[in-house]
Structure 1
Amino acid sequence: MKNPPSNISRAKYDFIDSSVIEKLESYNSKLSQESEKVPAQDPYTLNGQKLRLNFIRKQLNTNVDYLSGEKTFNNNESLKGNIENYIGMSQIPTGIIEPLVINGSSAQGSFYVPLATTEGSLVASYNRGTKACRESGAITTITLQEGVQRTPTFKFKNLIDLGKFVAWVLEHKETFSLLTRETSNYAILNDVGINIEGNVLIIRFEYTSGDASGQNMVTICTDKICKFILSNCPIKPIFWTIEGNTSGDKKATSLTTRVRGRKITAEITLKRGIIESVLKITPELLQQQWKISTSGCIKGGTIGTAMQTTNALTALFIACGQDVACSSEASTAITRIEIDENGDLYCAITMPNIIIGTVGGGTSFPTQKECLELIDCYGAGKSSKLAEIAVALCLTGEISILAAMGSGQFTAAHQKFGR
């Protein structure tokens, strides 16, 4: 079914609908907190692997025949559009963490999240952070904005020509919306932004892309719009390119702190007793470590104040068939940790660039499909859910690594689990 006409004049801002508030308030996190734990015994034996696979099959009622190695991939024809000069599949170890309990605008329930990595201690770190959060309640997640951009760039002889070109472009925004709908069943053009630097014009086309991550979709739509402009506008640029490198694609930039993909915020209040028993640190020391780490981010010129969000996203993206290079911009985050009036610890993370999809790309490959099905995120209508799971996962990792550093456990953990 094709999308409705776009409203490209609407303002872009963070917004929480009243229906979302009602949904969050009515959720009973205790039901999810009662989920069974993943069997942790025999972590590196065939018997331990079988225990966990049988747990998944029984607890989640899902198929893991490819993840287990019982079946192998041999449908080479299905690789068209994903790879060139194909020679085989790279295998990366995949682990699963204890149930991550979320009360979100799109994701609600407990999720056994699969992570593919070769970094020892990574799964253990997220497992511990997840446990601390689950025993304190549910992580609240809300999707605030959506948008995927392409920024074609045009160069002119002078500002006068540029100005005439801009005037023509702005008069034809509704035509661009129609061209988008003709090109894609799922893309919606929501905004056309203008940025001028001397005789260079950057046009920011912003779309929503349904359940696909959207980079290819918006590139094709933008190319059609640009070719329409070049064929019909009386003012011609002396040079143009489909991407002026200002959309934030595959890189963290200050320009993408607005939104690229989905902007999501997440929070949880950790109980003092749970912080001390699970994370082995006091709220005061954990907050102090966050302050030191945030100061370090500022001194180093980091975009955002995250500790290890790239670890979570890369492992999740590999497991679930995402564009792994998008972890570059997706990992941009603002993490905040504060002691509240009860002596507990308020923890929040906001991530504006979650580029993620549950259809297309690598999502239909056997092991990637199985991993998505583990968290009920395969297929249409599931991308916002997957995005909120990703951000909640990142929050658990921020909590865990800050606790490890602040309590002196960081090195010991890598000595125990790493190589």
Structure 2
Amino acid sequence: MDEYISKIRSGDLKLYALEKSLPADDAVSLRRKYIEEETGADLSAVGTYTIPIDRVVTRNIENMIGCVQIPLGVAGPLTVKGEYANGSFWLPLATTEGALVASINRGCSAITKAGGTEVRILRDGMTRAPIFAAKSVAHAAEVARWAEDNLLLLKVAAEETTNHGELIGLTTYTAGTSVFIRFEFDTKDAMGMNMATIASEAAAHLIEEETKAKLIAVSGNMCCDKKPSAINIIEGRGKTVSAGVFLSDELVSMVFKTNSATLAEVNTRKNLTGSARAASFGFNAQAANVVAAMFIACGQDPAHVVEGSNAITTVDLVEGGVYVSVTLPSLQVGTIGGGTSIATQNACLSTLGVAGGAENPGDNAKAFAEIVASGVLAGELSLLGALGAQHLGKAHRELGRGEK
């Protein structure tokens, strides 16, 4: 090991190239030792892990030195009545935020007592938007029109790059001489960002060849990936999904120790008026909490919590109780590819019955989206209930999470 470290220090061996000379576990151990010596830190805690890493070091991470462990809890059972997910589920939640799992668990209990969530996928399409430079405003308009008129040609070019993805549409935007073509793909059970990028690149080259516009970048930020954006809220990205449940007045009182009118007022004044006053893109109480915890547990890209938190929560006073719903316009999930193949994350997807590709491609990812949305609804209900009953601080104190 000392010989390898000497070569790294001399520059004869690159730190990132260790897996070419050593088995994966040995390469990770050596790299960790080198970083320990360089920084003076004790990294022994990150050197203990159970996941097989041969695939991880080639597909999921570079310069690996170990694993950071995040506590994993479950909430449930949660009854879901979707078109793809239909049954009772235990939600795997990876988090370091005390009281979060307990909160979601209470929401799951209320929903299940009420008979379960109604949940539907309203739209499904992953986007990528190349940007082109035109010669003039007139040329920019010609480029946009050519793309709109030749969807079938672009579809052929794009789909030659993938066995599963389908180009299902495009929308054009211009800004002076800049032209953006926002492609939308059905990526089946994959989240599909890489698939969409490669396919968009092929279609973009055809546009460049036919229109003589210069392709500047395969992503022009009209996609819009991993950034807060109005376009994803309005047009959707990934799965657009809504979940709702009717809670009787008696159930609201029994589970949340408040009443239906208070629940509705808290939502209106906090989630709607408060969010509007803050010019927030998220009109919800804590959607990102549930999305992040499930994403980390189930091998999703954590950066897509940005889009996943673009949720709006509504509470409608109806006869005998309230109808509470959440709508997530840009929930980006997959059950194959990326981190879903890591053993621990794959195990979490397996607890939900959605690991891997479905017999009917796309059904597992849609089922997972329905479950996540239902989990978000559980989290919203619980926090609104705690706020309505003035119990939020009390809950944190009783669970030992309050900071003095």
TM-score range (shorter-chain normalised) is 0.7 to 0.9
- In 1, are the aligned partners of 2:73 and 2:93 still within 8 Å (CA)? yes
Query: In structure 2, which of residues 337, 341, 359 is the aligned counterpart of residue 360 of structure 1?
Result: 337
Which residue number corresponds to residue 229 of structure 2?
253
Counterpart-to-counterpart distance in 1, 2:160 and 2:135: 33
Q: Does 1:383 align with 2:365?
A: yes
More helix by share: 2
Secondary structure of the structure 2 residue equivalent to 1:99: strand
CA spacing shift, 1:391–1:77, aligned 2, 3 Å: closer
Contact 1:161 1:235 in 2 (8 A): no
- Counterpart in the other structure of 2:220: 244
CA-CA distance at 1:156 after TM superposition: 2.2
Q: Give 1:71 deviation, angstroms.
A: 8.3
Question: Once the 2 structures are TM-superposed, how far is the Cα of residue 137 of structure 1 from its aligned partner?
Answer: 1.1
Listed one character per residue, the Cα deviations across residues 106-158 of structure 1 (whole Å, up to 9, x for unaligned) are 11000011100000000000000111111111111011110111111112231
Deviation (angstroms), 1:168: 3.3
Residue pairs, 1:125-164, within 5 angstroms: 125-164=103-142
Residue 378 (structure 2) aligns with: 396
Greater CA radius of gyration, 1 or 2? 2
Query: What secondary structure does 2:228 align onto?
Result: coil
Residues in 2 aligned to 1:406 and 1:168: alpha-carbon distance in whole angstroms? 55
Structure-2 change in CA distance of 1:248 and 1:166 (3 Å) = closer
User: Can you list the C-alpha shifts for 1:367-393, whole angstroms capped at 9, x where unaligned?
Assistant: 101111111110112110000000000
- C-alpha contact 2:140 2:176 (8 A) present in aligned 1: no
Q: Which residue does 2:88 correspond to in 1?
A: 110
Secondary structure at the aligned position of 2:220 is classed as coil
| Equivalent residues in 2 for 1:303-342, closer than 5 Å | 303-342=281-320
Q: Which runs of 5+ in 1 are unaligned?
A: 1-69
Equivalenced residue count is 347
Quote the Cα distance in structure 2 between the aligned partners of 1:164 and 1:107: 45
Aligned to 1:84: 62
For the residues of structure 1 that align with 2:311 and 2:197, how far apart are their CA atoms? 26
CA distance in 2, matches of 1:234, 1:283: 59
Whether the 8 Å contact between 2:132 and 2:213 is mirrored in structure 1 is no
- Extract unaligned runs of 5+ from structure 2: 1-47, 359-363
Give the SS at the match of 1:348.
strand
TM-score normalised by the chain length of structure 2? 0.83
CA drift of 1:165 comes to: 2.6
SS of residue matched to 1:379: coil
Deviation sequence 1:254-306 (CA, Å, 0-9, x none): 10122100111111001111111111111111111111112100100011411
Matching residue of 1:191: 169
The CA distance in 1 between the partners of 2:202 and 2:60, in whole Å, is 23
Secondary structure (helix, strand or coil) at the match of 1:362 reads helix
Report the residue type matching 2:251 in the other structure.
I
Tell me how far apart the structure 2 counterparts of residues 391 and 74 of structure 1 sit (CA, whole Å).
Answer: 31
Q: Contact 2:247–2:323 (CA<8 Å) still a contact in 1?
A: yes
Quick one: distance in 2 between partners of 1:200 and 1:75?
Answer: 43
User: Shift of residue 252 of structure 1?
Assistant: 2.6
Structure 1 residue 234 displacement after superposition = 4.8
- Post-superposition shift, 1:84? 0.6
CA distance in 2: counterparts of 1:130 and 1:286, whole angstroms: 17
Q: CA deviation at 1:160?
A: 2.2
